[in-house]
Amino acid sequence: MFEYAPAPESRDVVDIKPSYGLFINGEFVPGSSSFKTVNPANEEVLAEVAVASSDDVDRAVQAARKAFGVWSSMPGAERAKYLFRIARIIQERARELAVLESLDNGKPIRESRDVDVPLVAAHFFYYAGWADKLAYAGFGDRPLGVAGQVIPWNFPLLMLAWKIAPALACGNTVVLKPAETTPLTALLFAEICQQADLPPGVVNIVTGAGETGAAVVAHPDVNKVAFTGSTEVGRIIARTVAGTSKKLTLELGGKAANIVFEDAAIDQAVEGIVNGIFFNQGHVCCAGSRLLVQESVQDQLLDSLRRRLSTLRLGDPLDKNTDIGAINSADQLARIRQLSDLGEQEGASRWSPACELPEKGFWFPPTIFTGVAQSHSIAREEIFGPVLSVLTFRTPAEAVEKANNTPYGLSAGVWTEKGSRILWMADRLRAGVVWANTFNRFDPTSPFGGYKESGYGREGGLAGLEAYLDV
Ligand code: NAD
Ligand code: MG
């Protein structure tokens, strides 16, 4: 191994203010209290951010309601112009957005720069294209009204784009609550809405924690609720919304199987496994957290995988060489540690490459568990961290059985040379997305969503319009 020289991206490209208000009716307004958001890579406080009380949420919903009249009666082609403008500004300010995302979230700049931000722009471009063509999509062209949207911290800007772009294209207005550990790029997005001259109240951003989210979801004048986050909170939200006329979509957790057959190109599969579970520190709902490998190639594949993991570089998220950044919060780190320790106690073997962890900040080394049984917690529960559980199978039927033996059903990966086997597997896997000889591949034209406890409704693509129209 040779040493790389550090290649840090400059943080001077972003101008982080000491404090941020709430974005309501096109303006930043103070909240009554505030919280701190930190850089998880070094625990530096980045900014004080306002907490939206239920009164603040009410003001935001009222602003959105008022703006709905203007926005929904605007011709689709006019709404599209705003969305195209937002998409272009996102591209122009891509470097700033990527650096801010990496600072607040801890993800490597290589990912925020090359994956998150380009996909964010792509989503706005894609849904801008639908705004004047809704009549051809098959769901009618009547918007629902005010959309209340609550998102998690793992892809802060991308989840914002998945929620806001289709909502606005369909003529709805929005009150969005970002996650409490990653509010900053949503607030920069609010500035982008101002820069794009978006009519006031069409997008409102209310920051805060679970209570603020609950106030958005429960507000009587919200017509549509869209949530991405944990299955636990998803259940609470489903109960709140039950019995109202609110339309609901839920994107929840996952425990995807990445299934490797003996005829697969092993080196290619190893890259897919690494991308599947170590991308974004494994903070990915559709992460390939269970590797199902055919018994005959287990040793060969694990040798290659261990060798590959030894080359991953963990450290400063702003360094362009970094593969694995910081865990998003102390809480999430504690949960990953707890579940990993449980894995050992239950009898699985743990392995990590030699890897020095920085002293400050929240870090967890890439980790593999072998000798994992179906009944182990690490095979059943979502760890949401850089931890892979390895199980084996002998026949395709056994692979399907094991892959589907989970309360979740968000995604799966199949690695084989045989096209007919891919189709056979895809027919039987209870998962919203099945990737063949690739993993974690996203595109705005492709719908995404779950089966079972992974939630319901689809985001992305033509199917994603349905959630925001009165069908
Ligand atoms: P979380 O459910 O705790 O929080 C998600 C969001 O909900 C945050 O903004 C939070 O403030 C808010 N919230 C918390 N309690 C609430 C309540 N009672 N009412 C309304 N809002 C509330 O989850 P998290 O820890 O932030 O994110 C990790 C989880 O999200 C993982 O389980 C992961 O699988 C899931 N996730 C799913 C997808 C998907 O597309 N299916 C995508 C990303 C993350
Ligand atoms: Mg943060």
Residue 3 has a pLDDT of 75
Residue 4 has a pLDDT of 80
Containing structural domain, residue 418 = 257-436
pLDDT in tens, 398-435: 999 999 999 999 999 999 999 999 999 999 999 999 99
- Considering the domain architecture, whether residues 462 and 355 belong to the same structural domain is answered as no
Q: For the chain, what is the largest distance between any 2 Cα atoms, rounded to a whole number of angstroms?
A: 63
Whether residue 241 lies inside any domain: the answer is yes
Whether residue 5 lies inside any domain: the answer is no
Beta bridge partners of 411: 433
Whether residue 4 lies inside any domain: the answer is no
Whether residue 6 lies inside any domain: the answer is no
Structural domain tally of the chain? Answer: 2
Name residues contacting ligand 1 (CB within 6 A): 150-154, 177, 179-180, 209-210, 213-214, 217, 228-230, 233, 236-237, 251-254, 285, 382, 384, 410, 454-455
- Considering the domain architecture, whether residues 378 and 269 belong to the same structural domain is answered as yes
Q: From ligand 1's centre to the CA of 432, what distance in Å?
A: 19
Whether residue 442 lies inside any domain: the answer is no
- Considering the domain architecture, whether residues 309 and 377 belong to the same structural domain is answered as yes
* Domain CATH code at residue 129: 3.40.605.10
The token duo for 87 is 């998409």
Report, as an integer, the average pLDDT of 142-169: 98
Q: From ligand 1's centre to the CA of 90, what distance in Å?
A: 25
Residue 2 has a pLDDT of 64
Closest ligand 1 atom to residue 155 Cα is 43
- Considering the domain architecture, whether residues 233 and 297 belong to the same structural domain is answered as no
From atom 3 of ligand 1, which residue's Cα is the shortest distance away? 230
pLDDT in tens, 225-273: 999 999 999 999 999 999 999 999 999 999 999 999 999 999 999 999 9
Residue from 288, 307, 387 nearest 342 by CA: 387
pLDDT in tens, 296-340: 999 999 999 999 999 999 999 999 999 999 999 999 999 999 999
What mean pLDDT value characterizes the chain?
97
Report, as an integer, the average pLDDT of 73-99: 98
Whether residue 376 lies inside any domain: the answer is yes
Whether residue 331 lies inside any domain: the answer is yes
Q: From ligand 2's centre to the CA of 255, what distance in Å?
A: 25
Residue 32 has a pLDDT of 87
pLDDT > 70: what percent of the chain? 100
Three-class DSSP labels, the chain? CCCCCCCECCHHHCCCCCEECEEECCEEECCCEEEEEEECCCCEEEEEEEECCHHHHHHHHHHHHHHHHHHHHCCHHHHHHHHHHHHHHHHHCHHHHHHHHHHHHCCCHHHHHHHHHHHHHHHHHHHHHHCCCHHHCCCCCCECCEEEEECCCCCHHHHHHHHHHHHHHCCCEEEEECCCCCCHHHHHHHHHHHHCCCCCCCEEECCCCHHHHHHHHHCCCCCEEEEECCHHHHHHHHHHHCCCCCEEEEECCCCCEEEECCCCCHHHHHHHHHHHHHHHHHCCCCCCCEEEEEHHHHHHHHHHHHHHHCCCCECCCCECCCCECCCCCHHHHHHHHHHHHHHHHCCCEEECCCCCCCCCCCCCCCEEEECCCCCCHHHHCCCCCCEEEEEEECCHHHHHHHHHCCCCCCEEEEECCCHHHHHHHHHHCCCCEEEECCCCCCCCCCCECCCHHHEECCECCCHHHHCCECC
Q: pLDDT at residue 1 above 60? A: no
Q: pLDDT at residue 182 above 60? A: yes
- Considering the domain architecture, whether residues 129 and 242 belong to the same structural domain is answered as yes
Which residue, chain included where needed, has tokens 């790389």?
A: 4
Report, as an integer, the average pLDDT of 178-205: 98
Q: Which ligand is nearest to the CA of 182?
A: 2
- Considering the domain architecture, whether residues 55 and 40 belong to the same structural domain is answered as yes
* Domain CATH code at residue 267: 3.40.309.10
- Considering the domain architecture, whether residues 315 and 364 belong to the same structural domain is answered as yes
- Considering the domain architecture, whether residues 290 and 402 belong to the same structural domain is answered as yes
- Considering the domain architecture, whether residues 390 and 424 belong to the same structural domain is answered as yes
Closest ligand 1 atom to residue 252 Cα is 41
- Considering the domain architecture, whether residues 72 and 115 belong to the same structural domain is answered as yes
pLDDT in tens, 272-298: 999 999 999 999 999 999 999 999 999
The residues carrying an active-site annotation are: 251
Q: From ligand 1's centre to the CA of 249, what distance in Å?
A: 13
- Considering the domain architecture, whether residues 332 and 375 belong to the same structural domain is answered as yes
pLDDT in tens, 37-56: 999 999 999 999 999 999 99
Whether residue 271 lies inside any domain: the answer is yes
- Considering the domain architecture, whether residues 236 and 202 belong to the same structural domain is answered as yes
pLDDT interval class at 359 (50, 70, 90): very high
